[in-house]
Structure 1
Amino acid sequence: MYESILVATDGSDSADRAVDAALDLASVFDAELYAISVVDTRRYGDSALSGSESVVSDLETQASELLEAVERRGDRDVTTELRHGKPHGEISDYATAIDADLLVLGNRGRESGEVIGSTAERIVRFVNRPVLTI
C-alpha cells in the first residue's frame, strides 16, 4: 500500500508521535522511510539572522540531531533531509521529489497553541497526496 513514507520532525511532542507512527507504518508496509527537518529562519526574521551565522548554525545542529534521533529509533534505514525555508513548502517539495506515498507529521509544532498548526494545515490543504497528522 505504501512504498515510501515521509515523516517531518521539529522536535515537538506531536512530531515525536508522528515519528513513532511513521516507523510503525514503514515496518508494517516494508516501506522506504524518509525524514525531513526544516530550519525555519523566517521565524526570527531575516534581519535578525543576517549577521549571525552562529544562530543559523545552532538551528542546523538542532535539526540534524532530530534527524539522527529518527535514524536511531527505527529498525530500518532512514534517508534524512535537512532544508532551509518555509516548512510547508520544503516538506511539500521533498515529498514530491521522493514521490512519497504518505506524509506523516505532528498536528502542531513546538510553538503552536492551535488545535492544528499552520504547517500541518497548509500541508493537509495543499499537498496532493495522503497526509496523516498525529
Structure 2
Amino acid sequence: MYDTILVPTDGSDAANRAIEHAVSLARTFDAELYGLYVIDTRRYGEQALGTSGGVLEELGERGREVLADLEERADADHVPVTTEVIDGRPSSKIIAYADEVDADLIVLGNRGLGGGLEGTIGSNAERVVRYGDRPVITA
C-alpha cells in the first residue's frame, strides 16, 4: 500500500508522535522512509540570515540533531531512513520534497513548535493537507 513515506519533523511533541506512526507504517509496509527538517527562513528574515551565516548553520545543526533522533528511532525498529535538512517555507518545501521522492504518504505533526490553541491544526500542516496532492496523516 505504501512504498515511500515522508515524515517532516521540527522536534515538537506532535512531530515525535508522527515519527512513531511513520516508523511503524514503514516497518509494516516495508516502505522507504524519508525524514525532512525545514529551516523556516521566513521566521528569521532573509536579510538576517544572509548577514550571519552562523545563524543558518546553527539552525541547520538543530535540524541534524532532530533528524539524528529520527534515525535512532527508525534504526531501533530496523527501518532504514534517508534524511535531509533544507531551508525555505516549510509547507511548500514539504510538498516539493514529497513530489521529489514520490511519497505515497506524508505523516506529520498536527501542530509544530509555534504553539497555538489546543486541538487546532497548525498552519504548515493545514497547508500541506490543503495544497499537497498526496495522502496525509497528522498526529
- TM-score above 0.5, yes or no: yes
Determine if the alignment matches structure 1 residue 125 to structure 2 residue 122: no
Q: Which residue of 1 aligns with 2:66?
A: 66
Deviations 1:9-67 (A, max 9, x none): 00110000000110000011111101100011210122222311111111000001111
Runs of 4+ off more than 3 Å: none
Aligned residues: 134
RMSD, aligned CA: 0.9
Q: TM-score, normalised by structure 1?
A: 0.96
Q: TM-score when scaled to structure 2?
A: 0.93
1:5 aligns with 2:8: no
Unaligned segments of structure 1, at least 5 residues: none
Shift of 1:111: 1.1
Matched residues in 2 for 1:17 and 1:101: separation? 19
Cα distance in structure 1, aligned partners of 2:25 and 2:79:
12
1:92 matched to 2:92? The reply is no
Residue 127 of structure 1 deviates from its aligned partner by 0.6
Q: Which amino acid in structure 2 is aligned with residue 128 of structure 1?
A: D
The sequence identity of aligned pairs, in percent, is 52
Q: Does 1:108 align with 2:98?
A: no
Amino acid in the other structure paired with 1:65: E
Matched, 1:52 2:52: yes
